[in-house]
């Protein structure tokens, strides 16, 4: 297995180094300029360069760019200190962008348009490198989901991989939060090219990064839920295997032949077979005629009741709406009592002390729904506790027994 992996790694590395050597002239032109000339490659070579992450395209309307790893490799080999990044982070890149914009402004004021053009090219390259680093980090997250995260054997390993991925997502989100577009708008001023580069294009790319990270988080939750489901099934199977080892002579009974079926197996409702009269069977004609005579006659009184039913239904709907409105008002009165008390107040204690006739489960559901329906600012003004317990050690379902609500302290709300 190790030899196969090494041979595959050797073959892939040799192919990608050969790609760099074969297209060195065109790649160096892309390193010096803003983007790579797409016409310098054939369709097959272009597909290979994109698959090897040597080149990348920020979006459909943009040209080809060198990936930041290739650009750093070339800068390292050429000892180009201006473009070499050692442990570069987002904050350092943003500071570099500010310095480049200030240098571009000073060159414009002096009339040194050659230097201004060089600074604009460097700005474009730095923005491309910044977006390339985010794109590579998100791509590595997807690869982890499809490799390490998807092929672990225990729940603890799965949780550790999940925490590792979540921490990387948090670091990427923190890096994206450092990009302040209000500051960039003020920084570029009235320059059209810089506004297009540092505001419109960068904002579109940052939005794409946020969307990709949301997809990664959604995929993480799906994989975690699927793994928990598989774990519960595996526990059931392993428990059955252990039982059979302890009782090797156990044989399942024929429960279908029993008059009293155990509750575990008696879950499905009885089947009602479909049937129809066979009108083409002559020998059954007399029987069908007899059945036809015994059919109940048309009941006009029942039909009149059905015609009058919509009015009755509307009255019932109005009654249900009135009960729902009364329940909502009672819950609002409970919230006002919480505000007046200033201390934690149990929802069930309030229900009993107030003499309300609502079912406890419906009452708790409405209390929680009322809290979740509040705006985020108003939710911060309350503190809610749920008295809950797991239903079984084999799943994540929890039962809520009671809810306590308290008005949050003023200092906590202000923070």
What is the rounded CA–CA span in Å between residue 264 and residue 200?
62
For the ranges 122-136, 178-192, 290-304, the lowest mean pLDDT is seen at: 290-304
Contact between residue 197 and residue 124 where contact means Cβ atoms under 8 Å apart: yes
Q: Choose among 36, 33, 191: nearest CA to 124.
A: 33
Q: Give the model's pLDDT for residue 312.
A: 58
Cα–Cα distance for residue pair 190/121, rounded to 1 Å: 18
Compute CA distances 113 → 83, 107, 120, whole Å: 21, 7, 10
Per-residue pLDDT of 286-338, as tens digits, reads 888 888 788 777 665 665 655 555 555 566 676 777 888 888 888 888 888 88
Provide the token pair at 97.
């962008």
Q: Give the tokens for residue 233.
A: 């099934």
Name the phi and psi angles at 84, rounded to 5: -90, 130
Coarse DSSP helix, strand, coil percentages of the chain, rounded to the nearest 5 percent? 70, 5, 25
**Residue in the block written with tokens 């009452």:** 363
CB neighbour class for 277 (10 Å; exposed up to 12, middle 13-18, buried from 19): exposed
- What mean pLDDT, rounded, does the chain reach? 77
The most confident of the ranges 63-77, 167-181, 267-281, 401-415 is 167-181
* Residue 27: Cβ-neighbour burial (10 angstroms; 0-12, 13-18, 19+): buried
Q: What is the DSSP secondary structure assignment for residue 64, as one 8-state letter?
A: B
Whether the per-residue pLDDT at 1 is higher than 60: the answer is no
Q: DSSP secondary-structure letter at 385?
A: E
Interstrand relation of 345-346 and 398-407 (parallel, antiparallel or unpaired) = antiparallel
Please give the Cα distance from 168 to 138 (Å, whole number). 9
Structure tokens at 377: 């600012």
- Across 216-235, average pLDDT: 79
Tell me how far apart the alpha carbons of residues 232 and 340 are, in angstroms, rounded to a whole number. 46
Q: What is the SS3 assignment for 79?
A: coil
Q: What are phi and psi of 298, to 5 degrees?
A: -65, 130
Q: Which residues of 369-406 are buried (b: 16+ CB within 10 A; e: fewer)?
A: ebbeeeeeeeeeebebeeeeeeeeeeeeeeeeebbbbb
More reliable by pLDDT, 155 or 398 = 398
Q: What is the pLDDT of residues 340-362, one digit of tens each?
A: 877 888 988 888 888 888 888 88
- The radius of gyration computed from the CA coordinates of the chain, to the nearest angstrom, equals 35
Helix (H) or strand (E) segment spanning residue 386: strand 382-390
Helix, strand, or coil (residue 36): strand
Residues facing residue 36 across a β-bridge? 64
CB-CB contact of 116 with 107 (8 Å): yes
Asked whether the predicted pLDDT for residue 140 surpasses 60, the reply is yes
pLDDT confidence of residue 414 = 47
User: Half-sphere exposure of residue 409, counting CA atoms within 13 Å on the CB side?
Assistant: 3
162 phi-psi bin (left φ>0, alpha ψ -120 to 50, beta other): alpha
């Amino acid at each position: 297995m190790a030899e196969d992996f090494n041979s595959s790694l050797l073959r892939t590395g040799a192919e990608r180094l050969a790609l760099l050597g074969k297209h060195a002239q065109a790649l160096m032109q892309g390193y010096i300029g803003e983007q790579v000339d797409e016409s310098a490659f054939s369709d097959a070579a272009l597909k290979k360069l994109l698959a090897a992450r040597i080149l990348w395209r920020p979006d459909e309307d943009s040209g080809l760019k060198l990936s930041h790893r290739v650009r750093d490799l070339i800068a390292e080999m050429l000892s180009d200190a201006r473009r070499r990044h050692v442990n570069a982070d987002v904050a350092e890149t943003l500071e570099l962008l500010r310095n480049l914009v200030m240098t571009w402004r000073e060159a414009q004021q002096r009339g040194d348009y050659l230097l201004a053009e060089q600074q604009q090219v460097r700005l474009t390259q730095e923005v491309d490198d910044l977006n390339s680093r985010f794109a590579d980090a998100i791509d590595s997250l997807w690869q982890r989901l499809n490799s390490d995260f998807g092929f672990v054997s225990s729940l603890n390993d799965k949780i550790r991989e999940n925490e590792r991925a979540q921490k990387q997502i948090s670091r990427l989100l923190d890096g994206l939060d450092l990009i302040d577009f209000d500051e960039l708008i003020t920084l570029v001023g009235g320059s059209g090219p810089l506004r297009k580069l540092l505001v419109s294009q960068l904002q579109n790319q940052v939005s794409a990064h946020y969307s990709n990270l949301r997809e990664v988080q959604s995929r993480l939750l799906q994989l975690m839920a699927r793994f928990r489901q598989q774990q519960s099934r595996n526990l059931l199977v392993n428990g059955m295997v252990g039982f059979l080892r302890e009782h090797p002579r156990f044989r399942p009974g024929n429960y279908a032949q029993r008059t009293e079926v155990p509750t575990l197996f008696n879950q499905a409702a009885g089947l009602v077979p479909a049937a129809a009269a066979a009108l083409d069977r002559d020998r059954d004609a007399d029987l069908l005629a007899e059945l036809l005579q015994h059919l109940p006659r048309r009941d006009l009184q029942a039909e009149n009741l059905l015609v009058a039913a919509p009015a009755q239904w509307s009255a019932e709907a109005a009654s249900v709406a009135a009960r729902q409105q009364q329940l909502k008002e009672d819950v609002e009165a409970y919230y006002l009592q919480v505000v007046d008390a200033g201390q934690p107040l149990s929802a069930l204690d309030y229900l009993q002390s107030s003499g309300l006739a609502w079912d406890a489960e419906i009452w708790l559901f409405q209390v929680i729904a009322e809290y979740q329906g509040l705006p985020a600012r108003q939710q911060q003004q309350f503190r809610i506790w749920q008295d809950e317990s797991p239903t079984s050690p084999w799943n994540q379902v929890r039962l809520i027994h009671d809810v306590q609500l308290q008005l949050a302290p003023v200092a906590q709300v202000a923070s």
